[in-house]
Amino acid sequence: MSQVLVTGGSGFIGGWCVLALLQAGYDVRTTVRTLDREAGLRAQLHAAADFADERLSVVRADLQSDDGWAEAVAGSEYVLHVASPTLRNGPASEAEMVGAARDGVLRVLRAARDAGVRRVVLTSAFGAIGYGHPRRTAPFTEADWTNVEADIAPYQKSKTLAERAAWQFIQEEGGALELTAVHPVAVIGPVLGPDDPPSLRTIRSMLDGDLPATPPFGTSWVDVRDVAELHLRVMTEPAAAGERWLASAGPSLRIVEVARILRRRLGDRAANAPTRELPLPIARLLAHFNPQLRALRPQLGQDFNATSAKAEQMLGWKPRPLDRTIEETAESLLSTSCSGPSRRTRSLSSPDR
């Protein structure tokens, strides 16, 4: 089978995409920011599946530099662009976050076009779809775009503007290169190794007892393995070119309901999970003083509901039951170093990818 490049293979979603491709018979090349991550990545993947080691190559390429990208894409028929830029020089301004995200996407697209890649699958996010809108009960769909003029976090703005730039590039400069975009909601699921993916921080904080009450909002959720499967489906499906695809396991679920599922499915091992939701007026008041709640301020009181009807009807994609995913996420965290007393100082983050 053909070769596929996965950017950011050492990340949570990227690692599961690499694994899914290997299991499907593809040869895989993946990028990491530093090659000292290669040995750990190979060990994690080999622990999860059997594959010939030579079918996976690991190369160094950074989204903030042109170096290495021509070599990374060479010989690949498809590219799964999963990686997001990581700014490592202290806190970043909104302009820096937006610029890094946009420039990173365009860097990969240019390299893919010049190398004759057939299709790029862009891992975008629900953050590019469902933020900055008036409160609504109807689920968000792929036709929606985040309103970047509203009061939204820099992360959501960066994902939105980066995706906008990607579609504009394809229209104006892409040549024969095809683009499709996957938009996961809050991504959870088992971890492949001891890394600490931010998308699991909410569940980890519940298990560790760092969350005496949950913030008052809800969101849709999805299993990382189902996200990887959707990437593979849209990679080769002819009808997927030029389309956006939401990845969601169902309607919005309040954070407190996730905690209740943990208690119900894990019993005493989830005894630290909170049982109550912080009242909205109190949460809004505390957001003036608490940096964790301040980061969640645009989400407080909302229910971010997303539907994957398009992927289910057009591609036959079917996500796992959410309660099982929540249980397996917790089991994975409890069996690795990603949860426990040593992590008690970790903060809560937005579950949106």
- Per the domain annotation, does 39 fall within a domain? yes
Give the DSSP letter of residue 244: E
Whole-number pLDDT of residue 131: 93
Residue 350: what pLDDT? Answer: 55
Q: What is the CA radius of gyration of the chain?
A: 19
Evaluate whether residue 57 is within a structural domain.
yes
Q: Flag whether 352 is in a domain.
A: no
Give a yes or no: residue 351 inside a domain.
no
Is residue 85 in a domain? yes
Task: Give catalytic residues, as residue numbers.
Answer: 159
CATH of the domain at 273: 3.40.50.720
**Would you state the structure tokens that stand for residue 94, as one six-digit string?**
């909104």
Q: Could you tell me if residue 99 is inside a domain?
A: yes
Task: Give CA–CA dist 171/165, Å, rounded.
Answer: 10
pLDDT recorded at residue 244: 98
Q: Which domain holds residue 36?
A: 3-343
Q: What is the pLDDT of residue 345?
A: 36
Quick one: pLDDT at residue 290? 84
Bridge partners (DSSP) of residue 183 are 246
Q: What is the chain's pLDDT, residue by residue, as a tens digit (353 residues)?
A: 799 999 999 999 999 999 999 999 999 999 998 999 999 999 999 999 999 999 999 999 999 999 999 999 999 999 999 998 866 555 578 898 999 999 999 999 999 999 999 999 999 999 999 999 988 889 999 999 999 999 888 989 999 999 999 999 999 999 999 999 999 999 999 999 877 788 898 999 999 998 899 999 999 999 999 999 999 999 999 999 999 999 999 999 999 999 999 999 999 999 999 999 999 999 899 888 888 788 788 788 889 999 999 999 999 999 999 999 999 999 999 988 544 433 433 445 555 55
Q: What is the per-residue pLDDT for 339?
A: 46
Residue 353 belongs to a domain = no
Residue 32 host element (H or E): strand 27-32
- At residue 337, the pLDDT reads 54
Helical segments of the chain, H only: 12-23, 38-48, 69-73, 94-114, 154-173, 201-208, 224-236, 255-266, 280-286, 291-295, 309-315, 322-335
Candidates 262, 297, 263; CA nearest to 278 is 297
- Cα dist from 292 to 1, 84, 115, 153, 259, whole Å: 46, 22, 43, 13, 18
For position 74, what pLDDT does the model report? 97
Question: Which tokens go with 118?
Answer: 């057939």
Q: Which pLDDT belongs to residue 184?
A: 98
What region does 207 belong to: left with phi over 0, alpha with psi -120 to 50, or beta?
A: alpha
What total of structural domains would you count in the chain? 1
Question: Would residue 348 count as lying in a domain?
Answer: no
Predicted TM-score of the model (pTM)? 0.93
Give me the phi and psi of 337, to 5 degrees please.
-80, 5
Residue 274 token pair: 């909170």
